[in-house]
Amino acid sequence: MTRLKPHPEILTEAQQAIWPEMKDMPDDFVLYGGTALALRLGHRISVDFDFFSNRGFTPDELERQIPFLKRAERIQSKTDTLVCLVDRGGFVKASFFGGLNMRRVADPDRVKGPGFFVASLLDAAATKIKVVQDRAEAKDYQDIAAILKAGLDLPAVLSAAKAVYGEPFNPFLSLKALSYFGDGDLSTLSDPIQSFLISEVRKVDIKKIPEISFLPGGLTPVGT
């Protein structure tokens, strides 16, 4: 299997310190979020790690499986959720979410080095296009702009989100969110990014969004 060559420059010094220890990550966890995208695209610094899994877990069970969590400070701890701070000369926020009813449209890649799974660009994009419905944070809009400039088109991303989340996902709400910059810290987005996103939204015919099928096995390939 070809391994993903990441952009290490997007990691903080503390993240770089913990990087080799992430070789112990269970195969049913996949890195999503801004760091997954930044490792692929190199477009911004991202300071945390967000791992998703279809498998349920208890925090104590996960701590036994992943050695670098044993001395971590827990911020949130309950069934299927563990958010903690790992101190490596600076704090790294590591979040784990399990029992998720999510699917994938492409296989994740193993990252060069520690070898844990990183979500495909299209799957990571699908989660980003969904999250703008739930919060107004400039970093998500920066990520979407970088995704589109990397070659994915907005209809494909919307289609992937429909496959990943099923019927609850409403593409119209994402398009509406990407066209309005009055909430949260969205006013800090540069004029070129705002104009670019509005232009991309205007190109979309919501009635012609293509259909993409999800793959079997949830977030990871069958047999991993």
In terms of domains, do 112 and 186 share one? Answer: no
In terms of domains, do 137 and 174 share one? Answer: yes
For residue 188, is it within any domain? Answer: yes
The SS3 call for residue 114 is coil
Mean pLDDT of 97-101: 97
Mean pLDDT of 98-125: 97
Among 119, 154, 176, the domain-final residue is: 119
In terms of domains, do 94 and 174 share one? Answer: no
Tell me what pLDDT residue 58 has. Answer: 98
The SS3 call for residue 29 is coil
- Residue pLDDT, tens place only, 39-60: 999 999 999 999 999 999 999 9
**Could you tell me what percent of the chain has a pLDDT over 90?**
97
For residue 13, is it within any domain? Answer: yes
CA atoms within 13 A on the CB side of 141: 33
Tokens read off for 99: 């029992």
Among 54-63, 200-209, 214-223, the minimum mean pLDDT is found in 214-223
- Residue pLDDT, tens place only, 134-161: 999 999 999 999 999 999 999 999 999 9
In terms of domains, do 129 and 160 share one? Answer: yes
Tell me what pLDDT residue 2 has. Answer: 74
In terms of domains, do 130 and 113 share one? Answer: no
In terms of domains, do 81 and 136 share one? Answer: no
Mean pLDDT of 95-124: 98
Among 58, 92, 119, the domain-final residue is: 119
Number of domains in the chain: 2
Are the C-beta atoms of 141 and 189 separated by less than 8 Å? Answer: yes
The pTM for the full model equals 0.96
Q: Count the neighbouring beta carbons within 10 Å of the beta carbon of residue 202.
A: 10
Tokens read off for 168: 């609850």
The SS3 call for residue 94 is strand
Among 86, 119, 152, the domain-final residue is: 119
Tokens read off for 205: 């015919």
pLDDT at 1 over 70: no
Tell me what pLDDT residue 222 has. Answer: 77
For residue 216, is it within any domain? Answer: no
Backbone torsion region of residue 107, taken as left when φ is above 0, otherwise alpha when ψ lies between -120 and 50, otherwise beta: beta
Domain that includes residue 128, residue range: 122-208
Model confidence band, residue 91 (pLDDT cutoffs 50, 70, 90): very high
